[in-house]
Amino acid sequence: MIVLGFDPGGAKGFGCCILRASSFSTATVSTIAEAMNWAISECGKEEPAIAGIDTLLHWSDGPSGWRNADLYLKQTHPGANSSVMSPNSLFGAMAVGGVGLAIRLREQWPRMLLTETHPKVLFHALYGSSYSKSQVALAMDWFIGKTALSNGVIKNEHELDALISAWAAREGMANKWNDLCLPRTADMIFPAGAVSYFWPTRGG
């Protein structure tokens, strides 16, 4: 099984990852089209089972766009509250680019599953604190040791977030993590079709 992970951003800030068993490779690109070309080339004739994307894969029509998933993360991980912001205040490169990527992924591989991720909050949940841009190498070493992945080359925080997103997608699907998109409520909007938001149970 192969898994993809992405950290959508702007120019030279779009992290990509492909995860196979314990090995992985990453890249940093600038656009949705470049991310798709990279993923198609890396997958070859294989079809990825799932992709984890650090973006908003579902929206809410409520005040400031706040979603039940955001409120859950703020409540359960108060130390990472600064990373959980009102959806209406987020940068377009992540929000628009992420949904655009999800649509392109579904066009390329209609059967693949998609899950939203929040790698920085997930890292905080696993490690107990967040990492800064100056600590990417240390954060990578800890995460690879924690998850028993093979050591690989990660050049920046975008690629690390893409790796964490791929790992979360695989673990969430395999180990039946909670789905923060459930239960479905009347305010929820799914622009790229049905998705999940896999999240480990407390202490998981």
Question: If you write DSSP's letter for every residue of 7-41 in order, what string do you get?
Answer: E--STT-EEEEEEETTEEEEEEESSHHHHHHHHHH
| CA-angle at 20, arms to 15 and 26, nearest 5° | 20
For 20-39, how does the pLDDT look when each residue is reduced to its tens digit (9 = 90+)? Answer: 998 999 999 999 999 999 99
pLDDT beyond 90 at 201: no
Q: Where are the domains of the chain?
A: 2-199
Whole-prediction pTM: 0.95
The size of the chain, in residues, is 204
Looking at domain 2-199, its CATH architecture is: 2-Layer Sandwich (3.30)
At 172 the pLDDT is 97
Percentage with pLDDT > 90 across the chain: 84
SS3 label, residue 170: helix
For 41-52, how does the pLDDT look when each residue is reduced to its tens digit (9 = 90+)? Answer: 999 999 999 999
